[in-house]
Amino acid sequence: MEPRPKSFYALSAFFALFILFLYGPIITIGILSFQGPQGGLTFPMNGVSVHWFFDLFEQQAVGDIWGSFWRSFMLGLMVMVTTVIVSVAAGLAFRHRFAGSGALFYLTVASLVIPSILISLGVGLIFNQLGLPVYWATSGFGAQLTWTLPFGLLIMFAVFNRFDKSYEEAARDQGATAWQTFAHVVLPIIAPSLIGVALFGFTLSYDEFARTLLTAGSYNTLPLEIFGMTTNVTTPVIYALGTLTTMFSFLVIGVFFLIVGGISRRRAKAGSDAGDGLV
Amino acid sequence: MTAETEVLSDSHPAERTERAPRRMSRHVVGWLLASPLTVILAAFLILPIITIVVVSFWGATEFSIYPAFQFDNYEFLFSSPVTYTVFLNTFKYAAITWVCTLLIGFTVAYFLAFHIRSLNWQIALFLLCTIPFWTSNIIRMISWIPFLGRNGIGNTALINAGIIDEPLEWLLYSDFAVILAFVHLYTLFMVVPIFNSMMRIDRSLLEAARDNGASGWQTLWNVVIPLCKPGIMIGTIFVITLVMGDFITVRFMSGSQSANVGRLISNDIGLLQYPSAAATAVVLLCTVLLVIAILMRFVDIRKEL
């Protein structure tokens, strides 16, 4: 291999600084959440304790953290399942190049770039005028889909643009119906990408703030609850909560990666051995 | 071929039901499959925007809003000097954030695409850059407090290094903090599309440039950057629209001392002045769409996926 140019080392240092910039703050609050009971919002550490994590479990201290966590978790699952199903269907639809597909595509992109507060305000106003109560699982759910579906569809576009159509043709030639072709050929091939869509669906919903602000109603989701805390909580308990939810996010991301890794390993093992004996 | 299928389906009724969907027009099949997406977007994107446009002509009392067709909200909006200051401020945030995210994002993507030689390392480092995207923005903002506070890590380090004598007051709750947070949150939206563009560049083009005597900078300027333009444009659209539509980062990081259009809207919402909020939202929407329309002239998104 040819030797590394000088620029490599400069760029490596830049990249390392960028990673530090990305992760430094969150690691810092991770450390600070272990402040002693008398500790403040910044260094120095005033002893080490898990005092602030215990505080989280006391209802009066911080409000309804666990209720809002469960709402966010359930909402995340609802949005995840819906995003996967609707994105796959729409991804398949766009392969048919139907009349008006261009307009629908631009509408989806518009959904991505329209300021979140407009969705929040608009959905809130509709429910208001119809005399319906805003509620996280109805208005909040719909508002979040306008953020997750475009990501899902863009991923499906990327997947189907690289999809080898000859697999489907082969299946059809052997007499498979459209549904059989989808269920036994297309779906298994695109499965890892669907895990990716699911990851986007769940995490984007779990962390969504602006679109849920006016559409969640009287029961807050977790990001709304955390934002409420920033205005009236001035102790490291907010760092403890930040650390816990970030750990939860990392856990979710890790699980998704493990699933994808598991699928591809199983595939490599079960893959064809054609040509192996030849060399 | 078609004739053969016809004959077959005529002789086997079961086969006909199986084959029937294939003769359905691709338009019908397409719209059927796309119908869930269409319904959701109609209900939660188009309808809300229509509602906002309608309500922007309504009137409001202190407690309620009533249907009307009046231009009062717009007249008030365009006659107030605050509007222009706030819009200017919004553009300022968008422009500065754009420059910072572009420079950082391009450099990071360049390093990943051209200096990392093994694909596995490329994927690993790329994921390292994207993981924060899947965590909470609010917590990522909160996590700057220990750095930027009056007695925070930033000030302490600068004083210990002897660079300053007194703590800097403008680190937290300032425009600096707002832009820092924007760059922290949104650089990723530059890295991903630019990296995607770079990975598609045929490496032999770079060799050709070098063989013809181009220096590293010349290759970068005349080969790499022009080929990355679509990625840069997509990243730009993301960053500009996210910053222009934001209201929470500005409120939190400026300690409610600075304003942008999003905050103007959310303040009106807080006061239950929905028609006025809706009018501001309509103007914001038009501004954002105008900016995107200009940027879209430079790129065909569907080709880039």
CB pairs under 8 A between A and B: 258
Q: How many CB atoms lie within 10 A of CB B243?
A: 28
How many independent structural domains does chain A possess? 1
pLDDT tens over chain B, length 305 residues: 344 444 444 444 444 444 444 567 888 888 989 999 999 999 999 999 999 999 999 888 777 788 888 888 898 889 989 899 999 999 999 999 999 999 999 999 999 998 888 888 998 899 888 888 888 888 898 888 888 877 778 888 888 887 887 777 777 888 899 999 999 999 999 999 999 999 988 889 988 988 888 888 888 898 899 999 889 998 999 999 999 988 888 988 888 788 889 899 988 888 888 899 999 999 999 999 999 888 888 776 666 66
The per-residue b/e assignment along A59-92, b for 16 or more CB within 10 angstroms, e otherwise, is: eeebeebeebbebbbebbebbbebbbebbbbbbb
Q: Does residue A56 lie in a domain region?
A: no
Q: Does residue A226 lie in a domain region?
A: yes
CA distance A279 to chain B (A): 25
pLDDT tens over chain A, length 279 residues: 677 788 889 999 999 999 999 998 888 888 888 887 777 777 777 777 777 887 777 765 556 788 888 999 999 999 999 999 999 999 999 988 888 888 999 899 889 889 999 999 999 999 988 888 888 888 899 999 999 999 999 999 989 888 888 898 899 899 888 889 999 999 988 888 899 899 999 999 998 988 888 888 888 888 888 888 877 777 788 888 888 888 898 999 899 989 888 888 888 777 665 555 554
In the block, tokens 């500005």 appear at: B250
Q: What is the 3-state secondary structure (H, E, C) of chain B?
A: CHHHHHHHHHHCHHHHHHHHHHHCCHHHHHHHHHHHHHHHHHHHHHHHHHHHHHHCCCEECCCCEECCCCCHHHHHHHHCHHHHHHHHHHHHHHHHHHHHHHHHHHHHHHHHHHHCCCHHHHHHHHHHHHHHHHCCHHHHHHCCHHHHCCCCHHHHHHHHCCCCCCCCCCCCCCHHHHHHHHHHHHCHHHHHHHHHHHHCCCHHHHHHHHHCCCCHHHHHHHHHHHHHHHHHHHHHHHHHHHHHHCCHHHHHHCCCCCCCHHHHHHHHHHCCCHHHHHHHHHHHHHHHHHHHHHHHCCCCHHHHC
Phi and psi angles of residue B66, each rounded to the nearest 5 degrees, phi first:
-135, 145
**The tokens of B58 are what?**
């309504």
The answer to whether B135 contacts A145, with C-beta atoms less than 8 Å apart, is: no
Query: What pLDDT score does A90 carry?
Result: 93
Beta bridge partners of A63: none
The answer to whether B184 contacts A25, with C-beta atoms less than 8 Å apart, is: yes
Cβ atoms of residues B171 and B149 within 8 Å: yes
| CA–CA dist A28, B249 (Å, integer) | 20
| CA B178 from centroid of its chain's CA atoms | 16
Per the rule left: phi > 0, alpha: psi between -120 and 50, beta: everything else, B25 is beta
Question: B166-174: long-range contacts (C-beta < 8 A, 24 or more apart)?
Answer: B171/B147, B172/B144, B172/B145, B172/B148, B172/B253, B172/B255, B173/B253, B173/B254, B173/B255, B173/B257, B174/B253, B174/B254, B174/B257, B174/B258
The answer to whether B41 contacts A107, with C-beta atoms less than 8 Å apart, is: yes
CATH superfamily for B79-304 is MetI-like (1.10.3720.10)
Q: Which of A74, A195, A89 is nearest to A144 (CA)?
A: A74
Q: Does residue A21 lie in a domain region?
A: no
Q: Does residue A273 lie in a domain region?
A: no
Nearest CB partner across the interface for A227, out of B18, B22, B138: B138
Q: Does residue A126 lie in a domain region?
A: yes
Residue of chain B whose Cα is closest to the Cα of A145 = B40
| CA–CA dist B265, B83 (Å, integer) | 11
Contacts of A15 in chain B (CB under 8 A): 108, 111-112, 125
Q: Does residue A8 lie in a domain region?
A: no
ipTM higher than threshold 0.90: no
Cβ atoms of residues A112 and B193 within 8 Å: no
Q: Which helix (H) or strand (E) holds A228?
A: helix A222-232
Q: How far, in Å, are A119, A129, A253, B300 from residue B269 at the CA level?
A: 13, 15, 35, 37
The answer to whether B147 contacts A28, with C-beta atoms less than 8 Å apart, is: yes
The answer to whether B107 contacts A14, with C-beta atoms less than 8 Å apart, is: yes
Cβ atoms of residues A27 and A10 within 8 Å: no
Q: Where are the domains of chain B?
A: 1-55, 79-304
Residue range(s) defining the domain that contains residue A141: 65-242+252-263
Cβ atoms of residues B191 and A15 within 8 Å: no
Instruction: Give me the residues of A, 114-133, that contact B with CB < 8 A.
Output: 114-119, 121-123, 125-126, 129
| CA–CA dist A177, A172 (Å, integer) | 7
The answer to whether B143 contacts A177, with C-beta atoms less than 8 Å apart, is: no
User: Is residue A66 within 8 angstroms of chain B, CB to CB?
Assistant: no
Which of B54, B56, B136, B276 best tests the A interface by mutation, with the highest count of A CBs <10 A?
A: B136
CA distance B174 to chain A (A): 17
The answer to whether A125 contacts B278, with C-beta atoms less than 8 Å apart, is: yes
Q: Does residue A139 lie in a domain region?
A: yes
| CA–CA dist B165, A50 (Å, integer) | 35
Q: Which of A223, A249, A244 is nearest to A34 (CA)?
A: A244
CATH of residue A177: 1.10.3720.10
Q: Does residue A1 lie in a domain region?
A: no
Contacts of B110 in chain A (CB under 8 A): 11
Contacts of A126 in chain B (CB under 8 A): 47-48, 51
The answer to whether B301 contacts A253, with C-beta atoms less than 8 Å apart, is: no
Instruction: Give me the residues of A, 175-204, that contact B with CB < 8 A.
Output: 177-178, 199-200, 203-204
Query: What pLDDT score does B15 carry?
Result: 44
In the block, tokens 């052997």 appear at: A174
Q: Which of B249, B102, B108 is nearest to B176 (CA)?
A: B249
* Distant-in-sequence, close-in-space partners of A164: CB < 8 Å, separation ≥ 6: none
Q: Is A35 helix (H, G, I), strand (E, B) or coil?
A: strand
Contacts of B47 in chain A (CB under 8 A): 122, 126
Residue of chain B whose Cα is closest to the Cα of A180 = B18
Q: What is the 3-state secondary structure (H, E, C) of A170-198?
A: HHHHCCCCHHHHHHHHHHHHHHHHHHHHH
Q: How many CB atoms lie within 10 A of CB B186?
A: 25
Contacts of B45 in chain A (CB under 8 A): 107, 110-111, 114, 119, 146
